[in-house]
Amino acid sequence: MLVAPSILSADFGSLARDVKAICDAGCDLVHVDVMDGHFVPNLTIGPVVVSAVAEAATKPLDIHLMVENNTFFVDLFAPLNPEYISFHIEEEKHPHRLAQYIRSLGIKPAIVLNPHTPAESLEYLLPYIDMVLVMSVNPGFGGQKFIDVYEKLRRLRDLRDRINPDCLIEVDGGVNDANIGALKDAGVDVCVAGSYVFKHADGLEAAIGSLKV
Ligand SMILES: O=C(CO)[C@@H](O)[C@H](O)COP(=O)(O)O
Ligand SMILES: [Fe+2]
């Protein structure tokens, strides 16, 4: 299991310190939640702050867009050379075109599914993406309760194995040491965890280590 801590739960007053710390503690990706106050009822960070994150990080960035105008935001963040840029299928009229555009910039495209969006909506998109991000909370906030998406993950894994075995499956929202084993069994390759990692009583290394199942 690859581990991508969400910096939404970091201390924003000491963001560079926290980004360095999760990288030193063994994370695989740094998950960055970009929210525009329109697609979701929360507003986070733009390219000025994320460029400071990119400078502090020694692991690749995984940028999760929760915005209305995806292409505008892709163009804002692409110069920071993230490993992945993910966009929500619920907000994109032309997901096929946008995935290919992200690839043309040398970045791995990922598509996000809200908890209610079926796995099957990706059937014809899977060849064009490198990762699917399944939300296990409604997007917008850290620290929410995990929503059961196991059945969707299993269906997605079957589709992925049939259509594009190289595509990773990532899960985001309410992930912790109690559900990580079941998530792995359901086909998850990459987990995002914010509050669990940053608020763990035994520190970042113990938290990240406990998710590497
Ligand atoms: O995208 C989101 C929320 O919209 C996430 O990345 C959260 O930041 C995860 O936080 P936890 O549920 O792990 O606290
Ligand atoms: Fe996220």
What ipTM score was computed for the predicted complex, to two decimals? 0.99
The whole-number average pLDDT for the span 93-117 is: 98
The answer to whether 50 and 63 are in contact (CB under 8 A) is yes
Quick check: CB of 60 below 6 Å from ligand 1? no
Ligand 1 atom at minimal distance to the Cα of residue 193:
13
Q: What is the pLDDT of residue 15?
A: 98
| 175 CB near ligand 1 (under 6 Å) | yes
Q: Tell me what pLDDT residue 124 has.
A: 98
Measured from the Cα of 35, ligand 1's closest atom is 4
Cα–Cα distance measured from residue 181 to residue 49, given in angstroms and rounded to the nearest whole number: 34
Section 194-204 average pLDDT: 98
Q: What is the mean pLDDT of residues 64-73?
A: 98
| CA 96 to ligand 2 centroid distance, Å | 21
How high is the pLDDT of residue 131?
99
Tell me what pLDDT residue 88 has.
99
Q: Is 142 in the pocket of ligand 1 (CB under 6 A)?
A: yes
Domain that holds residue 66: 2-211
CATH of residue 85's domain is 3.20.20.70
Q: Number of folded domains in the chain? A: 1
Under the banding of pLDDT at 50, 70 and 90, the label for residue 107 is very high
pLDDT at 212: 98
pLDDT of residue 26: 98
How high is the pLDDT of residue 187?
Answer: 98
Mean pLDDT (the chain, rounded): 98
- Across the strands, what pairs with 186? none
